[in-house]
Amino acid sequence: MRAVIQRVSEASVTIGGKKTADIKQGLLILIGIEDADTKEDVDWLCAKISKLRIFGDEDGVMNLSVTDVNGDIIVVSQFTLHAATKKGNRPSYIKAAKPDVAVSLYESFVQCLKNETGKPVQTGEFGADMKVALINDGPVTILIDTKNKE
């Protein structure tokens, strides 16, 4: 699994002209699932993100998690995070998991974040054409790949 975690002062998702997710301070998480991903990847990534200290404390030091600051979360599925660009100019998405595998892992990840943070987690819609808007705070953007745990 690959995740792009962005610390935001606000973010939203619009599908078909209708806003389906809308947050203030928190995290916008873009999540890409590949064929080799398992529930173990979901659990590891969820625990890592929920405890990730990327919010400023009273001294401005990144020392607080999204839970510590009572931040909100949006999770958006994004298979393009597994784009292979080594050959040619047209990305290949051969490693991206098909919906029959990806949807259950995506839903499991969202549920895990709800459990870990004790907060609701807003989402996009798996497979939909989404318009994602955000104001990246910092900017702070972190990339995590569960295949690079060590």
> Residue 71's domain is classified under what CATH number?
3.50.80.10
How many domains does the chain contain in total?
Answer: 1
Catalytic residue (choose from 6, 25, 55, 78): 78
Q: Does 67 qualify as catalytic in the annotation?
A: no
User: According to the model, what pLDDT value does residue 52 have?
Assistant: 97
Catalytic residue (choose from 6, 55, 79, 117): 79
pLDDT tens, residue by residue, 41-66: 999 999 999 999 999 999 999 999 99
pLDDT tens, residue by residue, 103-148: 999 999 999 999 999 999 999 999 899 999 999 999 999 999 999 9
Q: Does 79 qualify as catalytic in the annotation?
A: yes
Which of 62-69's residues contact partners 24+ apart within 8 Å by CB, and which partners?
A: 62/140, 66/26, 66/27, 66/117, 67/116, 67/117, 67/118, 67/119, 69/25, 69/26
Domain that holds residue 87: 2-148
Q: What is the pTM of this model?
A: 0.95
Q: Does 122 qualify as catalytic in the annotation?
A: no
User: According to the model, what pLDDT value does residue 17 have?
Assistant: 96
